[in-house]
Amino acid sequence: MKWITRERPKIDRIACPWLIKRFVDKDAEFIYVPYNIVLAKAKELSAIPFDIPDVEYTHYNEQCTFDFIIKKHKINDPAISIIADIVRGADTDRHDIAKEAAGLWAVSAGLSYNIQDDHKLLESGMVIYDALYSWATHLYKQNHLQNSPFENLLHEVYNKFLKEKKSANKTPSWVKDLKEIIQDQIDAQFAFDLKKISNDLDLNPSYLSREFSKYFEDLNFGEYVRKLRIEKAINLIENSTYSLTEIAYMTGFSDQSHFTRIFKLHTGKNPSSYRKKIQKSNSDTKGK
């Protein structure tokens, strides 16, 4: 039987021919033509039109043509049900339906970009959907590491290394370097960029974020930096005549209200109360 649809296929117009060929009509012939002549050519060639409006084989509500073929031809295969979600998600830009939908869209769009001949594109697409069907049939619940003894071994070695490293309780050399970087910034312009700092230390940003609190008073990066800023602010309040607004700016806070909130969180007092307490203490000391 001949089947006809619009040219330049990507998702449904590749997935449907694969489904038809494998489960409905093994001798099917597929024709791609410009959209405006699909129905005329279908009549001329006695072909079944699909994946265009106002024909039987098309989208219905939120389901795509692939879904309709499954229902129409009563294809009861668990693997096809899995693939249907992926195709629907990719074809309707609802990648939340199946996490694999975004990948199918990316591969399909790339194929369409690389291959201009629609029939050669279909030929390549058939290979992809055969692979997807094998995955959905045999490998759906299997993780990547389960398929790779080498990567699984690396995973085990890495975990063992982390455990040994933790048990050794030795402070990594990067901790000292990072403390110096942070202190330099605290004494200068407060331009903290975790990604840049990670590059300077030759560390992965995710690793640095995860490991940071182990060596910095059980605080995350932001908490530790704020603590040092408040310590510097306290020193300026106690030993300088700068206004609180100036101190807020000098310690890297965007505005005085933010400075006041963080200061009180760390000391239990707002900056003005803290300064008054220091001034009173100094006055009492001088009076004795």
pLDDT in tens, 57-104: 999 988 999 999 999 999 999 999 999 999 999 998 888 899 899 999
Question: Which residue bears the tokens 């939340």?
Answer: 96
Tell me, what amino acid is at 30? F
DSSP 57: B
The model's pTM: 0.53
Higher pLDDT, 69 or 219: 69
Give domain limits for the chain: 2-139, 223-287
pLDDT digits (tens, 9 = 90+) for 194-213: 677 777 777 777 777 778 88
pLDDT at position 133 over 60: yes
Name the architecture of domain 223-287.
Orthogonal Bundle (1.10)
Q: Which two tokens stand for residue 112?
A: 């369409």
> What pLDDT score was predicted for residue 164?
55
Compute the CA torsion angle 43, 14, 76, 134 (nearest 10 deg): 150
The residues, ordered by sequence, that sit 6+ positions from 48 with a Cβ below 8 Å of its Cβ are: 1, 2, 3, 4, 42, 57
Q: Which two tokens stand for residue 209?
A: 């974020």
